[in-house]
Amino acid sequence: MFVAKTLWFFTQEMRRMYKYKILQISLFLALLWCALLFFIGAEGAAQFLPLFLFIDASVMSMMMMGAILFYERQENTLKPLLVTPIGVTQLILVRIVVGILIALQSVIILGLFARFVLGVELMLMWWVFVVSVIAFAHGVLGFVISLLVKDFNGLLVNIIVYMFVFGFPSIFFALGMFSPVWENILLFSPTHGAFVLIEHGISRGTSTWVIVFALTYLIGLSGFFLVRFIIPRYALIGVKE
């Protein structure tokens, strides 16, 4: 019964993502990335592909989660869900899984396109795995921010700030502006960990401990926010609005 209800809720949420055109927007973006890669050409594609995947799995995951939550606020649909037998934790987890699946849609399309159209050597299954983790972490982050700000604009501003604070150091590092020692410190930035994990899908040069650290860190950090912030506060904030 429990499983059946959760599954029903999951399929309905997926269906809603279609009705609300969130799936289509994500699909459109993936095709746009493909088009960009096509014009960049096979050579450059290997360089730009990780960047595109990274943006899709991080920024887009945060925005998708925000979209789901702000629609919910606008339509006042949290309260009726909270008076059904479905639990808050199930509600939250289903949304996060939906977010991950939307991100996977992009990585699969982009990966297949790069591999078979442009002939880029890549580890697609690895990407499916790490993008799941990255989308989970950033879905959680988008969730947290959405609970703290009052509208979608507030979320956008925070995403931009987040990207400045955490994203730019990684880009400068990639451009060789920091000495390699800094990498160990940069790993405490979730974006850097995410980027390194994705890049490994092409470069394959990342050391095992860096991979393990980045994965553990992303999962641990977002797990912490999920359990300590989102699950206890989501219903409370939603009802008091």
Partner 1 sequence: MTQDTVFEIKHLTFSYKKGQPDVVKGIDFHIKKGEIFGLLGPSGAGKSTTQKILTKLLTGYEGEVLYYGKPLDSYSNAYFEEVGVGFELPVHFQKLTALENMRFFQNLYQTQAPIEPLLERVGLLEDKDKLVGSFSKGMKMRLNFVRALLNQPKVLFLDEVTNGLDPTNARILKDMILEFKQAGGTVLLTTHLMHDVEALCDRVAFIKDGQIVETDTPRALKLKYGQRRVTVEHYVNGGTAQAHFDLDNIGKNPKFLELLNTQTIETIHTGETSLEDIFIHITGRDVRG
Q: Is 85 one of the binding residues for partner 1 (CB under 8 A)? A: yes
Task: Give the nearer residue to partner 1 in terms of CB position, either 85 or 180.
Answer: 85
Q: At what angle do helices 124-148 and 22-55 cross, to 10 degrees?
A: 110
Identify residue 43 by its one-letter amino acid code.
E
Q: Is 203 one of the binding residues for partner 1 (CB under 8 A)? A: no
Q: Is 240 one of the binding residues for partner 1 (CB under 8 A)? A: yes
Q: Stretches 7-15, 101-109, 153-161, 215-223: which one binds partner 1 (CB under 8 A)?
A: 7-15
Within residues 12-41, the interface with partner 1 by CB under 8 A covers 12, 16, 19-20
Q: Which of 3, 83, 175, 181 binds partner 1 (CB under 8 A)?
A: 83
Q: Stretches 52-60, 71-79, 149-157, 184-192: which one binds partner 1 (CB under 8 A)?
A: 71-79
CB 105 within 8 A of CB 23: yes
Residue found by looking up tokens 């931009």 in the block: 160
Q: Is 3 one of the binding residues for partner 1 (CB under 8 A)? A: no
Q: Is 79 one of the binding residues for partner 1 (CB under 8 A)? A: yes
Q: Is 8 one of the binding residues for partner 1 (CB under 8 A)? A: yes
What minimum distance in Å lies between the beta carbon of 101 and partner 1?
A: 19
Q: Which of 24, 47, 76, 184 binds partner 1 (CB under 8 A)?
A: 76
What minimum distance in Å lies between the beta carbon of 19 and partner 1?
A: 5
Closest Cα partner for 187 from 221, 157, 225?
A: 221
Q: Is 147 one of the binding residues for partner 1 (CB under 8 A)? A: no
Q: Is 87 one of the binding residues for partner 1 (CB under 8 A)? A: yes
Q: Which of 5, 73, 115, 233 binds partner 1 (CB under 8 A)?
A: 5
What minimum distance in Å lies between the beta carbon of 93 and partner 1?
A: 15
Work out the burial of residue 231: count CB atoms within 10 Å of its CB; fewer than 13 is exposed, 13-18 middle, 19 or more buried.
Answer: middle
Where on the chain is the footprint of partner 1 (CB under 8 A)?
A: 1, 5, 8-9, 12, 16, 19-20, 75-77, 79-87, 235-236, 239-240
